Amino acid sequence: MSEIKIQDFLETDIKSAVKIEEMCFSKPWSENSFKSALENQYSKFFVAKKSDVLVGFSGMYTAAKSEGYIYNIAVNPIFRKQGIGTALTLKLLEHSKKNHLEFLSLEVRESNNSAISIYEKCGFQKIGIRKNFYDCPTENAFIMTCYFK
C-alpha cells in the first residue's frame, strides 16, 4: 500500500469530501458548504490521500486573529485505524502554531471515544461540555482545546 499524503484541500476535492461527510456524519456538509468555507480567507483545509484517492480531510477557521476552531475531521471508515485522523489533526495543529494562534478548539460527541483518544494524544484537553450540542441522535459534546501559549 502507498503512503498517506497530507496536502492542501483543492476545490476538485469537494465531491470526494462530501461522500466522506455522508459516511461519517448525521448532518453532512453539502458541496456548497465546502465551497463557501474554502472561499473564506480565514479557513484552512487539508486532505489525506492514499494512491491519489481522498481518504480523509480536516478543516478549521481562525477567529479574532489568534483563535482556531476545527470545523471537522473525517476519515473514510474503510481507512480508519491507520493514523490518518492523527495525521490530519497534527497538520491542523502545525498550521495553527505556524500562524501564531493561542489555541485550537473543537467539539466532539461524548461517545466518540476513538476521536477523543486521538485528540488527547495530540495535546487537546477537555475543557467543557455543550449540552445537547448534537442531534440525530441528541448528544452532548465535549469542548476540547489545545493551548499553544
pLDDT in tens, the chain (149 residues): 469 999 999 999 999 999 999 999 999 999 999 999 999 999 999 999 999 999 999 999 999 999 999 999 999 999 999 999 999 999 999 999 999 999 999 999 999 999 999 999 999 999 999 999 999 899 999 999 999 97
Does the annotation mark 147 as catalytic?
no
∠ CA 98-100-102, rounded to 5°: 130
The catalytically annotated residue of 119, 120, 134, 147 is: 119
Catalytic, 107? Answer yes
Measuring CA to CA, which residue among 13, 8, 2 is closest to residue 94? 8
- Residue 44 · residue 58 · CB < 8 Å: no
Catalytic residue among 107, 110, 134, 139: 107
* Strands annotated E in the chain: 4-8, 43-50, 53-63, 67-75, 103-109, 125-134, 139-147
**HSE on the CB side for 116, CA within 13 Å?**
12
Global pTM value: 0.94
